[in-house]
Chain A
Amino acid sequence: MAALTCTDIRELFSARIDDTLSAEERARLDAHLATCAECPREWQSFERSVALVRGMEPARASGGFVDRVLAARPRPWYRRLGRSLLVPWPVKLPLEAAAIVLVAGLAILIVQGSPELQQAARAPVTPPASMPPAAPPPVPVAKRESAQRTTPRTSASPEGQRLYALPDEAKERASEPAPADVRAEPPRSLDAGPPAGSPRVAAESRAKKTDAVQTLTRQDTERDRAAAPGQAASAPAAPAPTASAPAAPPAEALAPSSAGTAAPAPAARAMQKSGELRNVTAAGASVQARLAAGDPATSERAVRDLVTRAGGRIVSRAGDGDAAVLELAVPADRWDEVQRGLQALGSLRLDDTRGNRTDPVRILLRLER
């Protein structure tokens, strides 16, 4: 075995400190250190320097390091989302609660307010101050419509307040034999044109109605259509009145049938009191019929009796010369009975029978000689 130099021996110092030398290497190192003059001092210095390094005070992370690491740790997406939505709690929670309340309130207002707004746009008419004190309070249109469809009309019903429905006094007059009440008086027109009972006069008188009356007419017509979608859908397609039915008015001037509104406007009441012919709508009628039965006044009374017995009612009336046009509302289950009664009164001709009848059946009946 060749002798180790001091350089070779000093290369073993680290292994000697770490105790990784073989027994043979350690023996040779120890033998050299026992005989060499320089190497023992080098060994002591080496051993001491390693001891100094190993004796260094351990480094310590500053306080809060763990929390900082945990805070910087990426979180699952749902936690990140929740954190972004909710943190800081004192700020975001009140804001979000206020936003939820605001949105909920707006939603409730919109949901509740929309029908009212639409209704208000349709029927801006307010009851006049001259409304009779005994009159019952206004009933919502939809409720009144349903009530009319399910229950026969009675004389005490609020229909008397309706613009184009027969007022109580008119009904009484209609039951009298005097044909002058049944017939329409000439319109209060300044032009001395054709006779009052002619179709032309009727058309002119309609044209001279006030804007308020026309507005009310359109509003009521729209309300009728809204209340009866089936009828409203078919109304524009209804055949125009024939030339032989001069009392049948143009569609835009048609009066409502059953839709009750507030009390009549002053202009409309004036027209009623003057006996001016009122227009009868064909838009809401399911059936248009003609009855030729001699004297219209007599047949009208008979028709009234017939309808009343059947639980129906006369919705409106218009006179036109020798003819009268009645708008009837008859319960659907009694319509056949009424139809047979009308046939017994004279020659009945059904001009138009719509398939989508409502209950009650609405009949536009023209009485002719």
Chain B
Amino acid sequence: MREKLADDAALLAQLRAGDGPAFETLVTTYQHRVFGVALRMLGSRAEAEDIAQETFLRAHRALGEFRGEARLGTWLYAIASRLCLNRLASAPRRHEQSDEAAVLRHAAESADAGAVLEQRELAAALHDAIAALPEERRIVVVLRDLEGLDYEEVAEVLGLPLNTVRTRLHRARLDLKAKLERWLP
């Protein structure tokens, strides 16, 4: 963790100095994480890439305003989360299975081996279960259980009280348990 913070500080210094390769390093380092949040939140790879790209471009424009109190990753997660929630709020969305879940389900149907089939079906079920969560709970479980942020970081990213994060996370997990009943003992 200390090493990570040191890396972030060095990268941030290079970014503020206008170092072009530093921005490439930033995108390369965080592209999958930012894209992952967007994909779990939106369920569409195309939309997720769009949001992820917008996240980095906004970060590039706002580098001067970043005070460096938070980690670069936390800052990027905050931008991506806001963009995702705004995207979801801007247009009514169908609560159907996500594109990603459909892809996984199609792959499962074409799979031969039973274990692979079951694995693909489980992945599709997980995507569906996450996509079915209310947005405010979905973002919490994504940040905590998929991206591995701790409670304080999730609260910082979303700008929420710590107890609100705890409550939403627990409700989200209960919802997921109910959705995944088939795969549970």
Contacts and interface: CB of A to CB of B under 8 A. Distances in A.
A37 interface: no
Interface string A173-217: 000000000000000000000000000000000000000000000
Given A14-B170, A48-B185, A50-B145, A61 B24 contact: no
B45 A62 contact: yes
A11 B145 CA distance: 17
B77 interface: no
B176 interface: yes
A125 to B, nearest CB: 69
A20 interface: yes
A74 interface: yes
Interface string A51-90: 0111011111110011011101110000000000000000
B60 A59 contact: no
Nearest to A45: B184
Determine the main DSSP class of B at the interface with A: helix
Contacts of A58: 32, 36, 146
A56 B170 contact: no
A155 interface: no
B176 A74 contact: no
B23 A73 contact: yes
A74 B123 contact: no
Contact of A14 (B27, B57, B61, B169): B169
B177 A45 contact: yes
A65 B126 contact: no
A349 B17 CA distance: 89
Interface string B117-156: 0000011001000100000000001001110000100000
B149 to A, nearest CB: 11
Contacts of B157: none
Contact of B61 (A48, A62, A74): A74
B180 A66 contact: no
Interface in B1-51: 23-24, 27-28, 31-32, 34-36, 39-40, 45, 48-49
A65 B61 contact: no
Q: Size band of the A side of the interface? A: 20 to 34
A49 B184 contact: yes
A66 B123 contact: no
Nearest to B55: A69
A53 B185 contact: no
Given A61-B52, A65-B53, A68-B53, A54 B27 contact: no
A68 to B, nearest CB: 6
Contacts of A61: 31-32, 34-35, 49, 52
A15 B126 contact: no
Nearest to A61: B35
Interface string B59-99: 01100000000000000000000000000000000000000
Interface of A: 11, 13-15, 17-18, 20, 41, 44-46, 48-50, 52-54, 56-62, 65-66, 68-70, 72-74
20 contacts: A14-B166, A14-B173, A18-B144, A44-B185, A45-B177, A46-B173, A46-B174, A49-B180, A49-B183, A52-B180, A58-B146, A60-B32, A60-B35, A61-B32, A66-B27, A66-B31, A68-B53, A72-B57, A73-B56, A74-B61
Enumerate the 6 nearest inter-chain pairs by beta-carbon distance, A residue then B residue, closest first. A59-B36, A61-B35, A14-B170, A49-B177, A45-B184, A59-B39
Interface of B: 23-24, 27-28, 31-32, 34-36, 39-40, 45, 48-49, 52-53, 56-57, 60-61, 122-123, 126, 130, 141, 144-146, 151, 166, 169-170, 173-174, 176-177, 180-181, 183-185
